[in-house]
Amino acid sequence: MEERKGFGSTFGFLMAAVGSAVGLGNIWGFPNKMGANGGFTFLIIYLILAALCGFIVMVGELALGRRTGRGVVSAYQVLSKKFKWLGWLGIIAPFLILGFYCALGGYCIKYVVLNVGNIFGAGFGNNGLGSGEVFGNMLTNQLESVIYGLIFVLLTLVIVMGGVSSGIEKFCSIGMPCLFFMLVIVIIRACTLGGNDFAVAVLQPDGSTVEQLIHSSSLDGLKYMFQPGYVTGTGYYVPATAEVAGQVVSAINGVPVVKFINEIPNFISILSTAGGQMFFSLSLGMGIMITYGSYLDKKQNIEKNALVIVICDTLIALMAGLAVMPARFSLDATGAIGGPKLLFITMQNVFNSMGTVGYVFGIIFYLLVILAAVSSSISLLEVIVAHFVDKARDAGKGDKRKSYSAIAAVAAGLLCVLVCMDGLGSNGMAPFDILKIEANGWSDCWLDFLDMISEGVLMPLGALLMSLCIGYELKPQFVDEECCLEGNAFKSKTFFNICIKSITPILMVLVLLGQLDSFFSLGLFS
């Protein structure tokens, strides 16, 4: 049987693991969710969950992978009769995420091209159009979106075809330090922006609007993220719509309609939001860490590596907030505050308002977003590829990596095409249109639909079941033995044992119920 090759160094593994964790959710999700859920309060809850759930689940998944030396499906099949089916959740979730990740990655490539065009005054720049119109045109131009999405799929495929050491590790060892460096550059510029006055039409509870002038600065972006009670104190404005003469509009006489937000969700809502973000951000419950763990050398300290990954991911998420929120509040106070619109409309508005130098920062920003997206997409594809490569190797068919990588990429590409054709619900191809289901927030477009299934359900469910598997089927002693190989000490053994059998499962049940309550408006905690 051909030898299964793994990571060549601790640094390479850490960069790959951190890269899988650092993705688009860190950039457009974490800062907004932090601000909208009480600022520092959210951060504290997130850190508690990261310690009691994230770290625990990550140690368990890395131990599972290294003990078996197999991908996520085979790992469970080898170790547990009762949970042998669980690994398939770790295949389905990455596949669904990969579909919309590639579409978004394609959008980022488009925006690098757009900002290059802006610098040179070329026809592929903004051409005098507003950022919202540019983004809308891109979404409705299905062919262009598909082409850019498939370019991103091809980029992901090439890296994964190179293998773990020569492909994934090499890319992440260079890409992640570059991402960090570019992120620092953007942060410095964002946090040194001044303030500006903005005219807004504030939507009143009775549906009327009142025009007023607001002053917003980069400091407001920092307050939004960190200051406890900022939402209930000063508050903030978010884009809204109003009905004028029977027409729903987002602006009146060129003045954007906004509404004032001064409410903080309840504790369970914050808990579920923080938990969902944590699972998605740390790449837990979807087979990535089990797969990467299977490539780990026995000398590697699983406990230390897990701790470094959790800390680095949280740090970069906070840094992403420092890159986008101060800029948003300073130069586009009425722009989107999260999601794709923050990334492709608000941030592009920011760069447009800075003149030619802004386009340079735009190129840097979207390149770092591409790096974050690629580092995540290659880990998602590797989960799928590793399973089938291992099966072929066990059957004596040799290394079929290139073949299975191509097949998996084609499948992901087809899902990417669907997301691109949908254009975030702009082209009449939303899930509620095709599947004939009731229109809800999660069914407005294929991106939200796939995100709901993966982040909202499969990931917390998979992590919950994994903790039960280790806590009651395999027993925590299994992880202790794996962590103590080659003279390593498992310093958090007692903490791990207590959490994996009681605290972690309970918290993950609350997170899962909160996610279901949020997506389906069940009213469980109202």
pLDDT at position 3, please? 58
What pLDDT, in 10s, does the model give residues 432-452? Answer: 888 777 767 788 899 989 988
pLDDT band at 103 (very low <50, low <70, confident <90, very high): very high
pLDDT band at 463 (very low <50, low <70, confident <90, very high): confident
pLDDT band at 244 (very low <50, low <70, confident <90, very high): confident
pLDDT band at 308 (very low <50, low <70, confident <90, very high): very high
In the numeric block, which tokens belong to residue 464?
């919950």
DSSP 395: T
In contact, 295 and 163? CB cutoff 8 Å: no
- Beta bridge partners of residue 256, listed in sequence order: 251
258-275: string of b/e by CB count within 10 Å (b at 16+)? bbebeebbeebbbbbbbb
In the numeric block, which tokens belong to residue 307?
């701790």
Closest CA to 43 of 222, 306, 249: 222
Q: Burial level of 231, CB count in 10 A (0-12/13-18/19+)?
A: buried
In contact, 455 and 276? CB cutoff 8 Å: yes
pLDDT at position 423, please? 92
Q: What is the mean pLDDT of residues 190-218?
A: 87
Q: Which CATH architecture has domain 10-194+264-519?
A: Orthogonal Bundle (1.10)
Most confident residue range from 19-28, 113-122, 304-313, 331-340: 304-313
pLDDT at position 414, please? 96
Q: Burial level of 219, CB count in 10 A (0-12/13-18/19+)?
A: middle
- Could you give phi then psi for residue 260, rounded to 5 degrees? -90, 130
Closest CA to 145 of 117, 113, 175, 123: 113
pLDDT at position 526, please? 61
How, if at all, do strands 196-203 and 255-261 pair?
parallel
In contact, 402 and 144? CB cutoff 8 Å: no
CA separation for the pair 286, 95 (Å, rounded): 9
- Could you give phi then psi for residue 444, rounded to 5 degrees? -70, -25
Task: Pick left, alpha or beta for residue 85 (phi over 0 → left; psi -120 to 50 → alpha; otherwise beta).
Answer: alpha
CA 237 vs CA 200, 216, 261: distances in Å = 9, 10, 6
pLDDT at position 498, please? 94
H helix runs in 231-281, sequence order: 267-281
pLDDT band at 83 (very low <50, low <70, confident <90, very high): confident
CA atoms within 13 A of residue 141's CA, in its CB half-sphere: 14
Closest CA to 49 of 522, 517, 508, 525: 508
CA 81 vs CA 57, 59, 74: distances in Å = 20, 21, 12
pLDDT band at 525 (very low <50, low <70, confident <90, very high): low
pLDDT at position 82, please? 85
What pLDDT, in 10s, does the model give residues 486-513? Answer: 888 999 999 999 999 999 999 888 888 8
Structural domain boundaries in the chain: 10-194+264-519, 196-261
Q: What is the pTM of this model?
A: 0.90
Q: What is the mean pLDDT of residues 331-353?
A: 86
- Beta bridge partners of residue 199, listed in sequence order: 213
CA atoms within 13 A of residue 161's CA, in its CB half-sphere: 13
The one-letter code for the residue type at 327 is A
CA separation for the pair 522, 526 (Å, rounded): 9
- At residue 498, the 3 state secondary structure works out as helix
Q: What is the mean pLDDT of residues 403-426?
A: 94
pLDDT band at 229 (very low <50, low <70, confident <90, very high): low
- Could you give phi then psi for residue 22, rounded to 5 degrees? -80, 110
52-67: string of b/e by CB count within 10 Å (b at 16+)? bbbbbbbbbbbbbbbb
In the numeric block, which tokens belong to residue 198?
């903005």
pLDDT at position 303, please? 95
What pLDDT, in 10s, does the model give residues 135-149? Answer: 999 999 999 999 999
pLDDT of 1 higher than 50: no
Q: What is the mean pLDDT of residues 467-479?
A: 90
In the numeric block, which tokens belong to residue 148?
């850019």
Q: What is the mean pLDDT of residues 12-34?
A: 86
